[in-house]
Structure formats: C-alpha cells, structure tokens
A and B are shown apart, each in its own frame.
Chain A
Amino acid sequence: MNSLLSHTFGKSASYTVAIFCTCGLILLLLMLLPLFGLIIGFHPKLFLASLQKFVVWQAFLVSIKTTLISVLIILLFGFPLSYLLSFYNFLGKGTILTLLELPLVFPPIVGGLGLLIFFGRGSTFGIFFKNIGINVPFTPLALVFVQIFIAAPFFIFTVKSAMDQVDRECLLASASLKASLPATLLFVLIPMVFPAILSGLTASFAKALGELGASLIFAGNFPGVTQSMPLAIYIILQSNFDDAIALSMLLVVTAFLPLSLLKLTITRKK
C-alpha cells in the first residue's frame, strides 16, 4: 500500500494503519453485501426469461418515463434556483437552504404521507386540483412529484456548491469583455460548472429511479401507470422471486448506466 506518508511516521504508524485497514475492509464488505447477494441470485437463463415478461417491461417504462421527466424538471428549474442561491443574498435565504435539505432528512415514506394528505380528496388543495382537471394521486404525475422531492436536493446542492467556487472576478471579466448575462451564463458559467451539473443529474436520476417509500403511499400501485421498478420488485417479490431479481438487476444497471457513461466521457476528454 503506497502513500505519501508511507515512511513519514515510522513504526508508530503501523498499528494505526492496521486498525484503519480492518475498519475499512469491514465497511467495504458490508457495503458490497447487497451486490454480492444479487450476483449470487443471478441466473442468466431465468433473467432472460423474466426480461421477456410484460410486467417487467411495463414497470421499466413507467420508471424511465417518470424519472426522465423528473430529472428534466429538476434541471430546468433547479439550475436557476442554484444560481440565485449562489449569487444572491436575500431575506430568508438561510431558511430556504434549510428547507431544501428537508428531503435529505425526511424519511421518504413520511414525504409520501405528507403529499397524500396535501393532495387528498378531502383537502382544499386536493379539491382545487381536481376542479381544474389535474389529477395527482395515483397517476404518473404523483410519481414525478415524489421523485422531484427526493432527488432535487442532490442536484441543487451539487450545482450550487460548484457555483460558489467559481471566481466571481471571472464573471466580472466576462462583463468587462462586453458579454451580457445570458452570454456569460452560456459561455463562462455553465462550462465551468458543467461537471457538477452532470454529476448532479446522474445522482438525481439514480435517486429518482430507486424511490420506493413515498411512491408506495402517494402514487399507489397500478401496473403500467404508477408501478415503478422498485415498487414492482416489492410487489412481485412474493409471487415470483426470479422476476424480482431480474427487475432488481435491471434497476441497478439502469441507475448505474448514466454514471458510468459520464465517467467514461470525462476520462476520454482527459
């Protein structure tokens, strides 16, 4: 094991490093257990058979459709929000930042309950939405709401953090070189925070895709409409174990794919 500090501290280091190695190994193993489990339960033949089942693809489509919409909304609305939070100071900014952390500390299932009550047919808002023709609970729209709630903070904080680190003088330089704000955003700011935008998007995508707790309560379970992949896994688990495993594999790969593609493009650029 090579480190800059390999020879710095001499013998006194070896015990400490040994303990660190043990702790690190244990944690690593614990974290890899689920993956090991999936690999053990994976049988190529059964996997392919499951993939041909309608219920599996149905869930996949529901997940993909809703997650892509959610991520798109997060991008289009989250970027401006990150910008405002990074470059402006205003009354209540601290409160807003704390509120945005809410989905990170709220158990998803509690979030789902809250949404259920808010949009419930008994509540004033619920009735309002029903009257203007927008039906939310038990529709794909409900899934989108839930996914945005869960995933948006990941995007916003990643991008805001990157924006915080942009040298303000660079933006002033852009202005001094006769660039308007839109031009500065397009040619200076966005290129500078682009890696953060991508990483925020991939994190949001994965989070949204895998959301179960809140969607269970708020979006309901209707195959083809609101039965997302995670929900399908939960429901199908009792009747068809192999289908559930296949769906799990599918889910993991789908969540992982954007991240790995991203890493590939970045390393290629370098």
Chain B
Amino acid sequence: MHLRQEILKSVLLLAFMSLIFVYMGFKQAFAENSRLSIFAAASLIDLLPKALESYKKHQDNGVEVTFNFQGSQNLAFQIGQGASPDIFFSADERWMTYVSKKGWVFEPKAFLANSLVFVLSPNIAGHVKSLMDLQKNDLSFAIAHSSVPVGGYTKKVLDNLSGLYGKKFTKAVRDQVVTYEDSVRNVILKVTYGSVDAGIVYKTDYLSVKDKGVLAIEIPKQANIKAYYYVAILKRSDSLNEAKSFINFLSSKEANGIFKEFGFESI
C-alpha cells in the first residue's frame, strides 16, 4: 500500500513537471520571429559577417542573425537531423544538390566562386620556394577529407596536377599528408600555427591569414578549379521575408565589392 502511494505520487509529480517543460518549449518556439539562423560553409566565416554588417546599414529591420560555420557536409547532416536554419550556404554543388533532392530547400542559386592555393607555414618559408619544392618529401601536409567541399576540390586539383607534372609529383604530395581535417578552417589554422608545414585551402582563406606570415604558392590556372558557392532558403523557415531580403542584398553591387575585397570571385 505504501509503495503504491509512493509510485502514484511520483508519477503525478513527473507528469506535472513534464507539462511545465512542454509549456516552456512551446513558448520558446513561438517566441521570436525576427530571427535569422544561417548555416554557412566554413570558408565564409570572414565574409558573411562583414556582408551582414553592410546589409544592416542599408536595411535596419532589427533582425537578429546567428551563424553556424562548419564544413558543408556537417551542416547538410545537421539539417538532415532536423536542424532548422533559415538559409544554407554550401561551398559546393554536391551538398546543395543533396539537400535539394531531399526537398528541404527552395531553388538554390550560385552566387560566389573561389579557387584553391597551396599555403605554407611561416617557419618553412625559406625552405620552399616553388611548386616543385613541394615534392621535397620532408614536409607535413594537412588537407580536408573528401566529404568536405574543399577536400573534394583538393582531390580534383591534385589529379589535375598529376596530369600537368606527372604522377610522381602528386604522389609525393599525397604521401606527405598527415591529417585529413573536417573543415578548411582547421587546415588553415594548423598551417598558420606551424603544426603542419603546408596545406591546400581556398585563396580567400590564405588572404585572411596573410598577415600572420603564411605564404602561398599559386596553382597553375589549368590545374585549378572554380569552387561555386550556392545559397538556398530552407522550406521550413518561418522568416522567409527576412531571408529573401538578405539574399537579394548579396546580388547587389555593394555586396560584390565586399566579395572582391576578401578575394572571392563573383559570378
């Protein structure tokens, strides 16, 4: 008898507490409308906040924007698991196609381009002077793994380079890879602070750490790729107007000026 009473009481308390939690959850969900949640490829980490700043100068509609910068593969995965940003910026077509095929976004649009470059950490500066020096075999390389957009591009570029300079070159570079990072920012970070000697990143990433002593070695145009960035609005967004407004701004002359500043190429 005592036991039953105790169980009954605890069940009631449990039910009561869950009601409170549910109520609070609802409140949260219906709370703010003028919020924009943006999932963006890691390489846009410097660009987008600056673009937002400029956007806000033009249209101060009091919208609160939050960013989530990670490898596009991570972001696509999170969207698949139920995350609900309003806008998704992908660094390659592959992941945008993925979310598009699943029916999670409205018509995607290409809006930006980038290309790759070899980067060298400050402490091996004198040691490597040209592309050919990269075969030296005593360097450590960091690149992104293949499911990351820049990782896919890296693979393509290396294949192109083997066509240009022979398989030996590409093999030499590949043999010196010590880590496959899950985001291009992790690659540039490791190169900047000397944990690895060299890496392959976007030109824009190189430009962002140029002042820290990082050096670049250009990839010949024939071997390089053009990385297209795509943007799309999520179907389940409830800030459609705000999202559209921001994306329209990105096609403006003003925005294009900012892209150029950071080293991106406009479409």
What's the Cα separation between A148 and B9 when bound, in Å? 47
- Chain B window 2-18, contacts with chain A (Cβ cutoff 8 Å), 1 for yes, 0 for no: 11011101100110010
| Interface pick from B53-61, B83-91, B139-147, B220-228 | B139-147
Q: Are A1 and B3 in contact (CB under 8 A)?
A: yes
- Chain A residue nearest to B7 (CB atoms) is A21
Q: How far, in whole Å, are A137 and B179 apart by their CA atoms in the complex?
A: 10
Tell whether A122 pairs with B193 under 8 Å between CB atoms, given A26-B14, A235-B182: yes
Q: Does A221 touch B at the CB level, under 8 Å?
A: yes
Q: In whole angstroms, how far apart are the Cα atoms of A19 and B16 in the complex? A: 12
Residue A121 CB within 8 A of the other chain: yes
Q: Which segment, of B71-79, B111-119, B128-136, faces chain A?
A: B71-79
Q: State how many angstroms separate the Cβ of B62 from the closest Cβ of chain A.
A: 35
How many whole Å from A210's CB to the nearest CB in chain B? 19
Binds A, one of B33-41, B164-172, B194-202, B251-259: B194-202
Q: Please give, as numbers and ranges, the residues of chain A lying within 8 Å of B180 by CB-CB distance.
A: 220-223, 235
In the complex, how many angstroms separate the beta carbon of A245 from the nearest chain B beta carbon?
13
Within the assembled complex, what's the spacing in Å between the Cα atoms of A235 and B74?
Answer: 9
Q: A239-B73, A239-B147 are in contact. Are A138 and B179 (CB under 8 A)?
A: yes
Contact present for B193 and A221 (CB under 8 Å): no
Which of A10-18, A56-64, A69-77 lies at the binding interface? A10-18
- With A14-B2, A122-B193 already in contact, the answer to whether A221 and B74 are too (CB < 8 A) is no
* From A18, A220, A235, contact of B10 by CB (8 A): A18
Contact A235 B145, beta carbon cutoff 8 Å: yes
Residue B178 interfacial (CB < 8 Å): yes
CB distance from A216 to the nearest CB of B (A): 8
Size category of the binding interface on chain A: 20 to 34
Q: A18-B9, A25-B10, A26-B14 are in contact. Are A222 and B193 (CB under 8 A)?
A: no
Task: Tell yes or no: B177 within 8 A of A by CB.
Answer: yes
Known: A120-B194, A222-B177. A15 touches B9 (CB 8 A): yes
Answer whether A14 and B194 are a contact pair too, CB < 8 Å, given A22-B13, A220-B178, A238-B147: no
* B162: A residues at CB distance < 8 A: none
User: For the complex, is B181 an interface residue (Cβ under 8 Å from A)?
Assistant: yes
Which residues does chain B contribute within 8 Å of A221, judged by CB atoms?
145, 179-182
Asked whether any CB of chain A lies closer than 8 Å to the CB of B121, the reply is yes
Is B100 interfacial (CB 8 A cutoff)?
Answer: no
CB-defined interface of A128-147 with B at 8 Å, one 1/0 digit per residue? 00000000011000000000
Q: Taking A14-B2, A22-B13 as contacts, is the C-beta distance between A234 and B195 under 8 angstroms?
A: no
**Bound-state Cα–Cα, A221 to B193, Å:** 17
Residues of A near B196 (CB, < 8 A) are 121, 138
State whether B147 touches A137 (Cβ < 8 A): no
Partner of A121, one of B5, B9, B77, B123: B123
Which chain A positions have C-beta within 8 A of B178?
137-138, 220, 222
In the bound complex, residues from chain A placing their C-beta under 8 Å from that of B177 are: 222
- Closest 10 interchain pairs by CB? A220-B179, A122-B194, A18-B9, A138-B178, A21-B10, A22-B10, A238-B77, A22-B13, A238-B73, A121-B194
13 inter-chain pairs at a CB distance below 8 angstroms, sorted by A residue, are A1-B6, A14-B6, A21-B7, A21-B10, A26-B14, A121-B140, A122-B122, A122-B194, A137-B195, A138-B179, A138-B195, A238-B73, A238-B74
Closest to B122 in A: A122
Decide yes or no: A19 and B13 within 8 Å by CB, A234-B182, A239-B73 being known contacts: yes
- In the complex formed, the residue of B with least CB distance to A223 is B180
| Contact across chains for B14 and A22 when beta carbons are under 8 A apart | yes
> Which residue on chain A has the smallest CB distance to residue B192?
A122
A122 touches B123 (CB 8 A): yes
A197 within 8 A of B: no
Q: Which of B14, B74, B76, B193 contacts A120 (CB 8 A)?
A: B193
Minimum CB distance partner of A19 in chain B: B13
- Chain A residues within 8 Å of B2, by CB: 6, 14
A137: chain B residues within 8 A (beta carbon): 178, 195
Is A116 in the interface zone, CB < 8 Å from B?
A: yes
B-contact 0/1 string along A149-190, CB 8 Å cutoff? 000000000000000000000000000000000000000000
Q: Which residues of B contact A237 (CB under 8 A)?
A: 77
A226 contacts partner chain B, Cβ-Cβ < 8 Å: yes
Q: How far is the CA of A223 from the CA of B180 in the complex (A)?
A: 8
Residues of B171-230 whose CB lies within 8 A of A: 177-182, 193-197
Q: Say how far A220's CB is from chain B's closest CB, in angstroms.
A: 3
